[in-house]
Chain A
Amino acid sequence: MTEKKHIFSILVDNQPGVLSRIAGLFSGRGYNIESLCVAETIDPAISRITMVTMGDTQIIEQIKKQLFKLINVIKVYDLTDERSIQRELILIKVSAKANHRAEILRIVDIFRAKVVDVGSDHYTIEVTGTEDKLDAIITLLKPMGIKNITRSGRIALLREPK
């Protein structure tokens, strides 16, 4: 069976230890976490965990059921095949020598990114978008010399019917 990336949106009780239960489930059963985002929802008693994982249909089915079996898990949505909005945020510290500055700013402009910090020989760029878009900007900035990168991991929400 073929493995596929899946994005889960998991609503959980906002309590200490819940993330550890979920992480423990994944490590204990040999599932893989590619990225993970956790934050409170509008209801402070509930947190949303957005997680990207890999697996074939049978594994993904098990992951879904095992997650739901945890007492603190309220809902599990698989947003992979749904119409969902997915975003990731990235901060890139790129070396910005005088001869590269204009080029970097052009790229920033094209990607609707933002320069959030400037130094004598670097820019720190903030950009949000889908995974593809972020991969693309990284490719373009690489020749300038990327000093550091941090990625947020993916977050997603279901699109409501129009």
Chain B
Amino acid sequence: MELTGAQILMRAFKEEGVDTIFGYPGGAVLDFYDELSRTDFKHILVRHEQGAVHAADGYARASGKVGVCLVTSGPGATNTVTGIASANMDSIPLVVVTGQVPSPLIGNDAFQEVDIVGITRPCTKHNYLVKNVKDLARIVKEAFYIARSGRPGPVLIDIPKDVANSKAIYDAPDTITLRSYNPTYEPNLKQLQKVVELVKHSRKPIIFAGGGIILSRASDPLIEFSHRTKIPVTASLMGLGAFPGTDPLWLGMPGMHGTFRANMSIGEADLMIAAGVRFDDRVTGKVQEFAKHADIVHIDIDPTSIHKNIPVAVPVVGDCKITLMHLNNLINKVELGDLDEIRKPWLEKIRKWKETTPLKYIQNGSIKPQFVVEKLYELTKGEAIITTEVGQNQMWAAQYYHFDKPNHFITSGGLGCMGFGLPAAIGAQVACPSKTVIDIAGDGSIQMNSQEFATAVQFNLPVKIAILNNGFLGMVRQWQELFYKKNYSWTNMSFAPDFVKLAEAYGAVGLRATQSSEVEPVIREALSIPRPVIMDFRVEQEENVYPMVPSGAAITNMILV
């Protein structure tokens, strides 16, 4: 039986196991929305297409599934670009369907026409313009396959309106095979044998875990490997939760705002086993100084990540989970000696770094933003899903909320996209209805997508927004303070809406804390309300994130509190 393009898309979504679509209707997708109303997909109507993509991103990270968006042509499509670029940098699997003007009008500068395939070429894993309805079923299947396989990423499908309403037989292959795309999952075992030898002889080893561990669900084999070899673990921003933040072998995050012990360990290590990381400049600082005494093993499914920023001794192309499982098998067969004894000097040294120079801040009566995050951690027993905006709020969340499990920390790592946290929290809450989901926000970034409060309220998604309100674009102000002689050029954001009233205007609940003693009661109350809540914490205005490594310096060169 012939189906319309719109029916084909819905059926293809069903076959891919889609249950939720984040979207916004418009002229070019009328046929899809018409058909959508006859399906049982959950549709979350956002208030801006950027919100749809961030929400799908949050949904994908919390659930481990592919996030799906549906938006119209022209401005609907261009509004998705920031969200797509963020997902692309963080390797998050998304399928974004954009409407397009009818095929005969393409290229004529038609109303709401934009070359979205051209625009998103550099920020998607792959994209398609569907020219014939007969190809649609196959293309959707390919798109999901590409989005979730190998190093995941966003895939965009642009569908002209005439393709949506013309008919074809549903024709998709049983399995997708692409002669030009075959990710390498199985590592080269000879390379792993070299890793085992390095582990045997190393005296100061560390593990550096990244987002790849979370994406490949490799936490368990990572923990097993670390515990078996007694190697301490640091994890990038994207990797937080890959290794328990309460484990004695946990070093904290490395890099620009990393812990003293993580950065010092990297500086002194003789072996670094890096898995699912891409050695971002915010982690490495000055590359020539990064882990300069260490043999670096780099495990990654994407060959382009290897040798890109940091030359490595042992490259291993493969899936993190499969690779770590092989590595555990190999390591279990060798004699590693009395590891308690062998690791003692190294772990002792790390313990001293932690003892002398822990993460800290100075309490002085006003509300310290770090204190708010600590209280959130304490009162949610570390079990909440935390999303963040970008800037100081993001770094304090990373430092003071100790993630024990993967898929619980959702942040725009690579692109550093303000306005990410609220829609991402909405997506995470859709994926995990029974979980507490908190967006740790700043007063600046929350205003970038605050229209999504309406979405949260409309769909009864009880997300909690904790605004660390310092009246500044805090991280930029911090750089101006430290590196631009306190010239606070346009970072003062003291004009802001009354966030409590804003919450109320949307039909949510607003709470405010202006002194330390009010922080805990506000959080308790917020957590007890089964509706969206905005908490406005009036925090110390000029608090800085420490430690801090100046841009381009070696990461052992830290400015401390």
Contact = CB atoms under 8 A, between A and B. Distances in A.
B307 A61 contact: yes
Contacts of A21: 121
B303 A71 contact: no
B229 to A, nearest CB: 30
A137 B179 CA distance: 43
Contacts of A74: 179-180
A25 B122 CA distance: 7
B117 interface: yes
A54 B65 CA distance: 41
A105 B385 CA distance: 80
Contact of B178 (A12, A65, A68, A71): A71
A69 B304 contact: yes
Contacts of B304: 62, 65-66, 69
B278 interface: no
A17 interface: yes
B227 interface: no
A101 to B, nearest CB: 49
A71 B307 contact: no
B118 interface: yes
A74 B303 CA distance: 16
Interface residues of A, number: 19
Contacts of A69: 302-304
Contacts of B122: 24-25, 28
Give the interface centre of B118, B122, B304, B307 by most chain A CB atoms within 10 Å: B304
A69 B311 CA distance: 20
A99 interface: no
A58 interface: yes
Contacts of A24: 121-122
B126 interface: yes
Interface in A27-55: 28
A72 interface: yes
A13 interface: yes
A12 B146 CA distance: 17
B425 to A, nearest CB: 31
Interface residues of B, number: 18
A21 B124 CA distance: 11
A31 to B, nearest CB: 13
Interface string B253-292: 0000000000000000000000000000000000000000
Interface string B147-188: 000000000000000000000000000000011110000000
Interface string B288-318: 0000000000000011100110010000000
A73 interface: yes
Interface in B216-270: none
A21 B180 CA distance: 14
A148 interface: no
Given A58-B307, A65-B304, A17 B180 contact: no
Contacts of B141: none
B308 A20 contact: no
Contacts of B181: 71
Nearest to B183: A69
B125 interface: yes
Nearest to A29: B122
A49 to B, nearest CB: 13
A68 B182 CA distance: 10
Nearest to A45: B179
Interface centre among A25, A58, A69, A72 (most CB of B within 10 A): A69
Interface string B18-42: 0000000000000000000000000
B367 to A, nearest CB: 43
Contacts of B308: 62
A71 B302 contact: no
A72 to B, nearest CB: 6
Contacts of B179: 74
A71 B126 contact: yes
Contacts of A17: 117-118, 121, 129
A71 B125 contact: yes
Nearest to A68: B303
A65 B118 contact: no
Interface string A57-91: 01001100110110111100000000000000000
B127 to A, nearest CB: 9
B146 A65 contact: no
Contact of A73 (B125, B129, B180, B307): B180
- Most chain A beta-carbon neighbours within 10 Å: one of B121, B129, B308: B121
Nearest to B178: A71
A74 B126 CA distance: 15
Interface in A103-131: none
A72 B126 CA distance: 9
B302 A13 contact: no
Contacts of B303: 65, 68-69
Contacts of A68: 303
A141 to B, nearest CB: 41
Given A65-B304, A66-B304, A71-B126, A20 B121 contact: yes
B180 A13 contact: yes
A24 B124 CA distance: 12
A71 B129 CA distance: 15
B73 to A, nearest CB: 18
Contacts of A65: 303-304
A44 to B, nearest CB: 15
A17 B179 CA distance: 18
A68 B150 CA distance: 13
A69 B181 CA distance: 8
Q: Which 7 A-B pairs have the closest CB atoms?
A: A74-B180, A71-B126, A65-B304, A65-B303, A28-B122, A71-B181, A66-B304
15 contacts: A13-B180, A17-B118, A20-B118, A24-B121, A25-B122, A58-B307, A58-B311, A62-B304, A62-B308, A69-B302, A69-B304, A71-B126, A71-B178, A73-B180, A74-B180
Given A65-B304, A66-B304, 16 more contacts: A13-B180, A17-B117, A17-B118, A17-B129, A20-B121, A21-B121, A25-B122, A28-B122, A58-B307, A58-B311, A61-B307, A62-B304, A62-B307, A68-B303, A69-B304, A71-B180
